[in-house]
Structure 1
């Protein structure tokens, strides 16, 4: 029998389906001293769909150092309202359970990567 995992490995990107699930990921990240990135999007939003592959590449690069979530604003409008998301795509950065930064509108992969790197560094230090 192989050794037990200390904690269940997170998926690359978590598609949040409830407020409770969102809170669980934010709490877990806070416990582990990791940043959380939340991509607010909708399936009818062309810029959201164009940015999705970039978000996925950045999530892969920072796997294990941060958590990456996706929130469909049509399915969880109350979560979008809580964070005053008026425009999508919006990527929200959280550290210690608090919003620390956001990117609003389409952004290329290199810009997202640079921003994520800064947030991850400041959250860990």
Structure 2
């Protein structure tokens, strides 16, 4: 997790396929894969005002952004659902969590009026937005439909 004071930190993730523990950087090109079996790993990172561009906007995968607050009950309820979606869609999306109380510039930039607010970014451009909590299957359907509509030729 990033402390917003220095380079993005890493998270340790256990591969669902082989059980090996892997270190996943908050910012990198491509998408993380297990060092042992090479299966896609879920990519979950924290970002703030100082490192959001590096962690979220420069990502080559679509990014699901969770704008949340620690005092928000629905935010605490939706967090495990988002992490489940990130696990299920490993290799296809990156989940970036932003605490709006610690990141007022991002809250203002994205005009967050209520939390949780969820965004999908494609190479830094917002392509979808949803406010409020939802169960994992609803969130996954929203992400899948957004990505599918983005993949359609214009």
Give me the TM-score of the superposition, normalised by structure 2: 0.67
Say whether the 8 Å CA contact 1:35–1:123 is kept in structure 2: no
In the superposition, relative to structure 1, how do residues 7 and 102 fare at CA in structure 2: closer, same or farther (>3 Å)?
closer
Alignment of 1:1-125 (within 5 A): 9=32, 12-19=43-50, 21-29=51-59, 32=60, 34-125=61-152
SS of the equivalent of 2:114 reads: coil
Query: How far apart in 1 are the matches of 2:45 and 2:141?
Result: 21
Q: Which is helix-richer, 1 or 2?
A: 1
Report the count of equivalent residues. Answer: 116
How big is the alpha-carbon RMSD for the aligned residues of Structure 1 and Structure 2? Answer: 2.1
Could you tell me which residue of structure 2 aligns to residue 3 of structure 1?
A: none
Give me the TM-score of the superposition, normalised by structure 1: 0.81
Alignment gaps of 5+ in structure 1: 1-5
SS of the equivalent of 1:49 reads: helix
| Structure 1 position 27, deviation (Å) | 4.0
SS of the equivalent of 2:139 reads: helix
Query: How far apart in 2 are the matches of 1:8 and 1:94?
Result: 15
Query: How far apart in 1 are the matches of 2:126 and 2:147?
Result: 13
Query: How far apart in 1 are the matches of 2:98 and 2:137?
Result: 22
SS of the equivalent of 1:100 reads: strand
Pair member with larger Rg = 2
Greater RCO, CA 8 A, separation 6+ = 1
